[in-house]
Amino acid sequence: MIKTKPQTLIVDNKYCPGCGHGVINRLVAEVLEELGVADQTIGAVAVGCACLMIDTFGIDWIQAQHGRAAAVAAIKRCRPDRTVLTYQGDGDALAIGFSETMYAAIRNENITVIFVNNTNFGMTGGQMAPTTLPGQKTTTSPYGRDCAVTGNPLKAIDMLKTLDIAYAARGAVTTAAEIAKTKRYIRNAFEAQLNGEGYSFVEVLSPCPTNWGMPPLAAKERVASTIQEYYPVGEFVKRGEKRHD
Ligand SMILES: Cc1ncc(C[n+]2csc(CCOP(=O)(O)OP(=O)(O)O)c2C)c(N)n1
Ligand code: SF4
């Protein structure tokens, strides 16, 4: 268990105050270091606030085009000795990158996807994403998301758990207890990859106070109440076995 700041976090992060990305970055760094694989890890990132990590999170990075991180993460096939992750927002992984996300899972690529769900396109100013909740106001749904027009929010894990994948879990970065649980999920996901079990996916519910127009504490409370109600946390696939129906 690492108590000091992980060495992988080479520069202070650039996220807004109260953003969940910073906590998630730290959890990923701690897990990689505890597993002893940080210096042999390759990350694939595309766009969004996720790509701010390239300068601050000290691993080898490939920057893909928008949505394509899971496709370039197939570098794992050429370098099976490396630990390979993608780190993606909900707009990136489930809108323009939906196909790449699903096909990497369909192929059961032996990679780990860290999927940050903040219910909007953060970096570009808070537009509606596939995960925007019913009724949620965004810059492109100013009267609230109308599901009769847009369809319902995507639940990635509900789709992924129909496939032959190794691991899927959803956590949140709200309380200390939830953060500890989320770290366990991230660890389980990387362990699945190190054991050669196949595709692992961890969704993390994360506040975006800037675009939600909320102070950090209220944004965290929105995750713990409204968002977790729609997107329950837990483990859904473990060692290829479905855990919830
Ligand atoms: C081909 C292309 N289209 C659009 C954009 C603009 N763009 C940059 S980031 C982004 C969305 C990011 O949202 P998300 O993946 O949810 O990440 P967040 O910033 O919320 O963490 C978009 C649409 C782009 N960079 N490339
Ligand atoms: S815009 Fe949102 S997701 Fe991006 S750094 Fe700021 S709070 Fe985080």
Question: Terminal CA-to-CA distance of the chain, rounded, Å?
Answer: 33
* Model confidence at 59: pLDDT above 60: yes
- Answer whether residue 105 shows pLDDT above 80: yes
Cα separation, 71 vs 62, whole angstroms: 11
Closest CA to 120 of 18, 173, 170, 49: 49
Residues with CB under 6 A from ligand 1: 47-50, 66, 89-92, 116, 118, 121-124, 129
pLDDT at 2 over 60: no
pLDDT band (50, 70, 90) for residue 103: very high
pLDDT at position 208 is: 98
Alpha carbons 10 and 6: distance in angstroms, whole number: 8
- Whether residue 181 contacts residue 171, with contact meaning beta carbons closer than 8 Å, is answered with yes
Atom of ligand 1 nearest to the CA of 211: 20
Q: Which CATH architecture has domain 21-242?
A: 3-Layer(aba) Sandwich (3.40)
Q: Which residue has the higher pLDDT, 240 or 233?
A: 233
Measured from the alpha carbon of residue 91, the closest ligand is: 1
Which one-letter amino acid corresponds to residue 148? A
Element holding 201 (H helix, E strand): strand 200-205
Say yes or no: CB of residue 123 within 6 Å of ligand 2: yes
pLDDT at 172 over 90: yes
For residue 93, give the nearest of 52, 54, 57, 64 by alpha carbon.
64
Whether 94 shows a pLDDT value over 90: the answer reads: yes
Angle at which helices 21-34 and 176-194 pack, to 10 degrees?
Answer: 50
> Among 13, 25, 49, 87, which is best to mutate for testing ligand 2, by the most ligand atoms less than 8 A from CB?
49
Give 63-92 as a DSSP string: EPSTT-HHHHGGGGGT-TTSEEEEEEEHHI
Decide if pLDDT at 56 tops 80: yes
Q: What are phi and psi of 138, to 5 degrees?
A: -135, 180
Which letter does DSSP use for residue 14 in this model? -
* H/E stretch holding 7: none
Q: What is the pLDDT of residues 179-190, one digit of tens each?
A: 999 999 999 999
Q: Are 59 and 31 in contact (CB under 8 A)?
A: no
- Distance set, CA 27 to CA 112, 118, 126, 186 (Å): 14, 17, 25, 8
pLDDT class of 240 with cuts at 50, 70, 90: confident
Question: Could you state, in order of their start, the residue ranges of all structural domains in the chain?
Answer: 21-242
Average pLDDT of the chain? 97
Which pLDDT score is estimated for 1?
56
- Best substitution site from 16, 87, 115, 139 to test ligand 2's pocket, by max atoms within 8 Å of Cβ? 16
- Residues 89/67, Cβ–Cβ less than 8 Å: no
Reported confidence tier of residue 84, pLDDT bands at 50, 70, 90: very high
According to DSSP, the β-strands at 167-172 and 234-238 are antiparallel
Q: What is the pLDDT of residue 3?
A: 73
What average pLDDT does the segment 60-68 reach? 97
With beta carbons less than 8 A apart as the criterion, state whether 221 and 209 touch. Answer: no
89 lines ligand 2 (CB under 6 A): no
Is 214's pLDDT higher than 80?
A: yes
Q: Which residues pair with 96 in a beta bridge?
A: none
Segment 187-200, tens digit of pLDDT: 999 999 999 999 99
| pLDDT at position 242 over 60 | yes
Q: Does the structure show a pLDDT above 90 at 11?
A: yes
**pLDDT one-digit tens code per residue, 108-162:** 999 999 999 999 999 999 999 999 999 999 999 999 999 999 999 999 999 999 9
**Interatomic CA distance for residues 7 and 142, integer angstroms:** 42
Q: Is 121 in the pocket of ligand 2 (CB under 6 A)?
A: no
